[in-house]
Structure 1
Amino acid sequence: MSEKMIENNKVSVIGEVVTGFTFNHEVCGEGFYMMDIAVKRLSGQTDILPLMVSERLLDVHQDYSGSTIEALGQFRSYNHHEGVKNRLVLSIFAREVRFMEEFTDYTKTNQIFLDGYICKPPVYRRTPLGREIADILLAVNRPYGKSDYIPCISWGRNARYASSFEVGARVRIWGRIQSREYMKQLNGTESEKRIAYEVSISRMEEVGDYVG
């Protein structure tokens, strides 16, 4: 795998393990499992983030609940088919994992860098209190012709800047991964609580390369 491909999608998170392992899939005899980690924000709030790990990185038969770990890897997506619809499923794919005895610097618990392409027109809006927000969907290339589609949200001046991006524009983003609960309407009378994951942008720049 080329170093260039790895460099365009980098995640570093530090958090507390809050679930056991759930089998996800197997590739060439290697099993991959899901677990959740709780990552603190400076505000005191916590994001519960899904982490995908190989059975070759951790003993998936052990219970690590309550342990603090650092995971380095990539933010990845795949389409989950639900009837006639597709749902974008996101998780952190761990390439390295290590346990930490003590951790106090919460400014470094959650960092992500993405270098990708705008794949749909940005959606700019204002909240009822007047805060500016822009949503963008970034396609980040992976080896072997694959791409990850990462929803990102920007605020204030960044939101106004993002609203000018054209589809196909190459953009670099620095920020953090956050979780957000929402109610999904299933039919006319039923709804279901779900969790969405997105990148909250702290810094961004348009590179100038276009695809299309």
Structure 2
Amino acid sequence: MHPFKTFEGRVCPLDRTNVDTDQIIPKQFLKRVERKGFGSCLFYNWRFDEKGNKKKDFVLNKPEYAQSSILVARDNFGCGSSREHAPWALQDYGFRVIIAPSFADIFYNNCQKNGILAIRLDSPRVDELIRRGATEALALTVDLEQQKLSAPNFAEHFEIDPYQKEVLLKGLDEIAMTLTYEDEIVAYEKQHEAVVH
């Protein structure tokens, strides 16, 4: 994972509630186990018709959102099954940040474990970002250290679990984070071994 400190990206407004993981990455694409290559399958049933042609009315198919890296959606994003492929697909497509009023818990944790910053934000502020993202080229700056979102005429603080924040800032997965305590682990094991014997 790459360290996440300050990031600026174009907002893509996904004006939908209850976006489930089967819509994020449909089941027919779950046969692979590597994390790469899922971006082309993201929101497949919404992006493409039965013949594989792009649906012009879906937001990701509009040219102005082609380079978006911040997805803003409605309540209960990532509900449904616990498939980790959903954040893999979002990340492979190019999204580094997802903002919504609420997330399914397992999806939220899977995002943070895979280097995607998932931000819970009050519904009125999400409304504003979706509205502005639909009518202007809205670039948003995300400062994880300060836990701030900013854009012209927009500033908001967000909450994040301190451990998840540290993992994202350092760009470490859970195993790598555990290994940062290797000296303490070795010392404990030696002390425990001495007590047992």
TM-score > 0.5, shorter chain as reference: no
With normalisation by structure 1, the TM-score equals 0.23
Greater C-alpha radius of gyration: 2
* Bigger relative contact order, structure 1 or 2 (CA pairs below 8 A, ≥6 apart): 2
Normalized per residue, the structure richer in helix is 2
